Structure 1
Amino acid sequence: MNDLRISGLASGMDTDQIVSDLMRAERLPMDRLEQQKAYLEWQRDDYREMNKMLLEFDTLIFDGIYRDSTFNQKQVDVSAPEELSIKNLSSTGDFAGTIEVTSLASAATMFSNTNIHLDPTKALSEQGVSGMQTITIQAIGEDGVTSTEPTTIEFDPSEHTLNSLISMINAESNVTMFYDSFTGKVAVTANYSGDAQASDGSNIPEITLSGDFFMNVLQFDDDGTGKATNIHSETLNNGTLGANAKFNYNGLETERHSNTFTLSGFEVTLKQATGDPVHFQSTPDVDSILDTVVQFVEKYNDIIKKINEELVEVKQRDYPPLTSEQKKGMEEKEIELWEEQARSGTLRNDSTLTTAINQMRLDLSSPISGIGNLLSDIGIDTSKDYLDRGKLIIDEEKLRETIANDPNALKDVFTKNGESMDEKGIARRLRDTVQEAMAGIEVRAGRASSTNHTFTLGRNLDNIEDQMDRFEQRLTQIEDRYWRQFTAMELAIQQANTQSTYLMQQFSF
């Protein structure tokens, strides 16, 4: 313990300072270990940052130029967009023709035949509804043809108001119920439009309501069977029938159960009946496709710029990492500027990154078997400036022309599949290269969730930490030895002083 050490009492020496200076020299190997550890941690973090960028690039490729759907994007010009709209969902071909809308699809409705005289905010039991009630709702399904399975609801009038019951019905069934305070009536509308039919083609109700509460409290008309239905007939009291949309498509009279439906991979939405045929024509969505390709090129350029910078960055050997002791005497800004220099060159000439960037360039420049198209053929070329180190340049006019004339050819350049590398499109090649690079980096630097023993730099860090622990123990032993030596010296000097004083006292007589 320090308080048991004798510090310069006899010699007058500043023993604390002397031991501190001696230990500073002894700690030099420990400082080097601390600096090595800091540099390895920077290197590990820089590798992981590179892997993060590569993963973002891989994801961008996968979500963009890797997908066939990217190049199938089309815009459809419609002569009367206020009457109908069309958008491409999955079609790879063109879509053109005329549509003349006779009538729109509509959903069936039913409503009370008289004012029901209920306060929608009060408990139903307070308004003459007693005993447990059971109601059943059946309505046309999403297919616009058949009815769904009946929904049965049991409720206690003492626990429900009309409003709360309506909310429960709307949540659990295929109808939307509404209380109109102005007329004092309840209206029910099927959630799906269309003319419901049985398997034999006969008409069936789009809405069927069962239960005493519907007939005697909400005043829906009984169809004679103890149910309320929108009976198919030319006239319908207290409601409307569901109807199909009717239209003429390129001369063919046809129907759909909804106003939104799919034709040849295109989604058509009818908005109103048309007086005349509406003409439409699909063309490649040049702007959307171009935007995806531009995003890819920009991200690629960012990646190769970053990799090239890391590979050629010079390690500043005059700026070793700061030790914790050195940082104590520096301002925060000084530390930041120093470490900016000290951290340089962590990935200089890295073999994994060098291989990756060379392969990426090869992926872009090698012809594709069976296609022969190069990027330069479609409006993307490599910069002729050597300092750009493989940066891609877009000829927007040429690329737009390629997209407009033959988006499928552009798609093949990026997405073509094959067994060998020369058969694959550019997007597939690049993903293979990027994923291989990421795997190599992960072997060296791991992930944020990795434990040190699972990757190379982590094992090196563990080794350095073990050395530091052992050296710290050794330093403690050395410091104790110095203090024992100085303490022994102080005791010897004190003893000599005592003897000298005694002798002088003896000779003084």
Structure 2
Amino acid sequence: MVMRISGMSSGMDIDKIVSDLMKAERLPKTKLKQKRDLYSLEMNLYREVNTKMAAFRDAMNELRYSSKMTGMKATSSSTDVTAAVNQVTGASSHSIQVDQLADYARLEGSGGVGALSLQGTANVDGTTITQGVNDRLSIKLDNTTKIITIPANTYSADDLRTEIQKQVDSAFGSNRLNVQLDASNQISFEPAAATNGFKPQVTLYDIPNSAMSALGFTGNQSYRLNLTNSLSDLTSQNKLTNPLVPSSGTLTFGNGTTVDYDANSTLQSIMDSVNRSAAGVTMSYDSLNDKFTITSKQTGAAQTVDVSDSGGLLAGIGLPASASVSGKDATGKLDGADFSVSSNVYSKDGIAYTLNKVTASAVTVNIASDPDSIVNNVKKFVTAYNEMMELVNTRLSETKSNKYAPLTDEEKDAMNDDDIALWENKVKTGLLSNSSILRDAKNSLRSLLSKQVDGITDQFNSLADIGLTTQAFTGAYVAKDQGKIELNEEKLRSALAANPEAVNQLLTNDVGVDSQEGIFVGMYNRANSIIGDLVKKAGRVNGIDSDRTTAIGKSIYDLDTKMLEMENRLSKKEDNYYRQFTIMEQAIAKSNASISWLSGQTG
């Protein structure tokens, strides 16, 4: 950057002159900035439509399934068994008895697998704590980590215990973590038990200036079993109640899947490997009961946990070295006929029974007509469709005014917030009036309103047949209401009474053939496709403006790049102006000096 000299010799306000010159120079960049702002406003308008379209799609996702539009409801005499109608069926009554629930194959280990202690190994009598050398301890109690500082001193064992207890109480509060001293002058930490008797985890972490070594502790040493410690560390710290010789081994599951481990493996890494594998089981640790469990991922008698261990891992964590257990099927009687099913949902004749408990006696499930459910769901469709269509209509019908351009920073500085908001609203009005995406979206969705679905009786194969039509013209053209729909509830109820299955198929058919696709299924699919087009055009809601994977984002990115390049050129141009004025000032100063000298010579 050039040295900038004010007009001391010329008397000119050089900063003002250069600023005025640069205003003219910056006009092209200002135009680019305004163009970028227009793109940004357009992007936000598209994203607004995207939000409304997503809400419509989500509503369709709730309504496009056959089970949502059966017009039937199930009531149960007990919460032990609940039921839902998943296809159109007649009114009926059923009796169901549950003798056994389906269950996972589960191999449970013994409790108390971890030794509860956080014990140091050093005789701390006469320990010297030096500031900045070994005066800090990082302690994590439950989910709270604190660093305590031990004042520098040479301590007796009891004085050191007392000082650490003081610092611990200050960090975590009294009676949360007790610092103890045994007959060998070794420090230990004992957490206080919760009301349920559970003692929380306590872990020491290695940090700069750590006092752990002086106190006889190692990094990541903990009170309870620490799943992130290596098998060799757990063994050296005596953290397992069962003997474990840390060495390599392999867990082999019934389907041939294997998981290898060695002395450097951690219990967490072994569990993660098992859970990611194709073994079809989940290995977990219950910290409350301090035990390990291996469980099948699905229920049913066909599911098994079949595992063997070539090393000592399973025995060390309280599980048998070799075992095979099976799951259970749900069993019972439906209307006097035995059933057996691998899950706790049993479906029969369009009714899904959810088995929650073994029943002491038979539970009665009644199936009855429920036209209100379909009527209410259709009303949800009408509301969601009309709200979405109103926004699309509004954006397409707005007229753009060329009188309003995005405000410059200087213009905003001269206006209040309300006036700025009004102006910017004028600027964005009409930006989407020629949008082919919105026009195609509107036409695509409206075409479904008049579609006749093949494969259904002609009496009920279109929305008009069940009381859904576009709103009648009222004599006054209102752009935002064009294409909205309205429901003749009486006609819908009549259709449901006459042929509920046809109504269900009209709305929810999903057989993979376009001509037979139900209206709600088609609405969902097209809304999903429109959202994809909107994302390609303007990006996702809350995405960045300069997303080059989108059409508008690419334009914004290109403009940002041009403005950056232009700003570099403008900076050089400004420096050049100052350089020229500096030369002028220096020349005037030199001339003034010469005149002053001559005047002095002539007296």
TM-score range, shorter chain: 0.5 to 0.7
In structure 2, distance between residues paired with 1:460 and 1:245: 65
In structure 2, distance between residues paired with 1:288 and 1:84: 24
Give yes or no for contact 1:91–1:266 (8 Å, CA) kept in 2.
no
In structure 2, distance between residues paired with 1:487 and 1:163: 82
2:467 is aligned to: 379
In structure 2, distance between residues paired with 1:495 and 1:163: 92
SS of 1:452 mapped into structure 2: coil
In structure 2, distance between residues paired with 1:257 and 1:432: 37
In structure 2, distance between residues paired with 1:169 and 1:505: 103
1:452 is aligned to: 547
Residue 337 (structure 1) aligned with residue 422 (structure 2):
yes
Please point out which of 558, 565, 568 is paired with 1:473.
568
Give yes or no for contact 2:468–2:485 (8 Å, CA) kept in 1.
yes
1:72 is aligned to: 70
C-alpha distance 260-271 of structure 1, shift in aligned 2 (>3 A): farther
CA displacement at 1:343 relative to structure 2: 2.7
In structure 2, distance between residues paired with 1:343 and 1:70: 41
SS of 1:9 mapped into structure 2: coil
Residue 463 (structure 1) aligned with residue 554 (structure 2):
no
1:181-260 equivalences in 2 (<5 Å): none
Give identity over the alignment, percent.
Answer: 29
In structure 2, distance between residues paired with 1:303 and 1:58: 10
In structure 2, distance between residues paired with 1:163 and 1:504: 103
In structure 1, distance between residues paired with 2:590 and 2:289: 100
Give yes or no for contact 2:112–2:291 (8 Å, CA) kept in 1.
no
2:89 is aligned to: 93
Paired residue type of 1:375: L
Give yes or no for contact 1:443–1:455 (8 Å, CA) kept in 2.
yes
2:149 is aligned to: none
Give yes or no for contact 1:283–1:404 (8 Å, CA) kept in 2.
no
In structure 2, distance between residues paired with 1:490 and 1:21: 19
C-alpha distance 171-70 of structure 1, shift in aligned 2 (>3 A): farther
In structure 2, distance between residues paired with 1:285 and 1:409: 15
User: What is the TM-score with the length of structure 2 in the denominator?
Assistant: 0.54
CA displacement at 1:94 relative to structure 2: 1.2
CA displacement at 1:467 relative to structure 2: 1.2
Deviations 1:147-174 (A, max 9, x none): 9889775779x99xx999xx9699989x
1:310-389 equivalences in 2 (<5 Å): 310-371=395-456, 372=458, 373-385=461-473, 386-387=477-478, 388-389=481-482
Paired residue type of 1:294: K
Residue 304 (structure 1) aligned with residue 389 (structure 2):
yes
CA displacement at 1:255 relative to structure 2: 7.5
CA displacement at 1:314 relative to structure 2: 2.7
Paired residue type of 1:74: M
C-alpha distance 83-58 of structure 1, shift in aligned 2 (>3 A): closer
In structure 1, distance between residues paired with 2:23 and 2:111: 85
In structure 1, distance between residues paired with 2:547 and 2:35: 16
In structure 1, distance between residues paired with 2:574 and 2:98: 93
C-alpha distance 305-68 of structure 1, shift in aligned 2 (>3 A): same
C-alpha distance 254-300 of structure 1, shift in aligned 2 (>3 A): closer
In structure 2, distance between residues paired with 1:405 and 1:304: 31
C-alpha distance 272-466 of structure 1, shift in aligned 2 (>3 A): closer
Query: Whose helix fraction is larger, Structure 1's or Structure 2's?
Result: 1
CA displacement at 1:246 relative to structure 2: 8.9
Task: Give structure 1 stretches of 5+ with no counterpart.
Answer: 107-140, 174-243
SS of 1:335 mapped into structure 2: helix
In structure 2, distance between residues paired with 1:47 and 1:481: 43
In structure 1, distance between residues paired with 2:571 and 2:107: 83
Please point out which of 552, 559, 580 is paired with 1:485.
580
In structure 1, distance between residues paired with 2:87 and 2:533: 40
In structure 2, distance between residues paired with 1:497 and 1:84: 106
Give yes or no for contact 1:71–1:408 (8 Å, CA) kept in 2.
no
Residue 142 (structure 1) aligned with residue 101 (structure 2):
yes
SS of 2:532 mapped into structure 1: helix
Give yes or no for contact 2:345–2:352 (8 Å, CA) kept in 1.
no
Paired residue type of 1:468: M
Residue 63 (structure 1) aligned with residue 48 (structure 2):
no
Please point out which of 493, 497, 520 is paired with 1:427.
520
2:500 is aligned to: 407
SS of 2:11 mapped into structure 1: coil
1:188 is aligned to: none
C-alpha distance 341-263 of structure 1, shift in aligned 2 (>3 A): same
Paired residue type of 2:436: S
SS of 1:393 mapped into structure 2: strand
In structure 1, distance between residues paired with 2:42 and 2:13: 42
Deviations 1:174-204 (A, max 9, x none): xxxxxxxxxxxxxxxxxxxxxxxxxxxxxxx
C-alpha distance 489-260 of structure 1, shift in aligned 2 (>3 A): closer
In structure 1, distance between residues paired with 2:434 and 2:527: 18
Paired residue type of 2:482: R
Give yes or no for contact 1:6–1:487 (8 Å, CA) kept in 2.
yes
CA displacement at 1:301 relative to structure 2: 0.6
Larger radius of gyration: 1
Give yes or no for contact 1:76–1:280 (8 Å, CA) kept in 2.
yes
C-alpha distance 171-257 of structure 1, shift in aligned 2 (>3 A): farther
Deviations 1:370-428 (A, max 9, x none): 43422121011101235220111011222223234322111221223466644322123
User: What is the TM-score with the length of structure 1 in the denominator?
Assistant: 0.63
When the two chains are superposed, the root-mean-square deviation of aligned CA atoms in Å is 4.3
CA displacement at 1:481 relative to structure 2: 2.1
2:36 is aligned to: 37
1:221 is aligned to: none
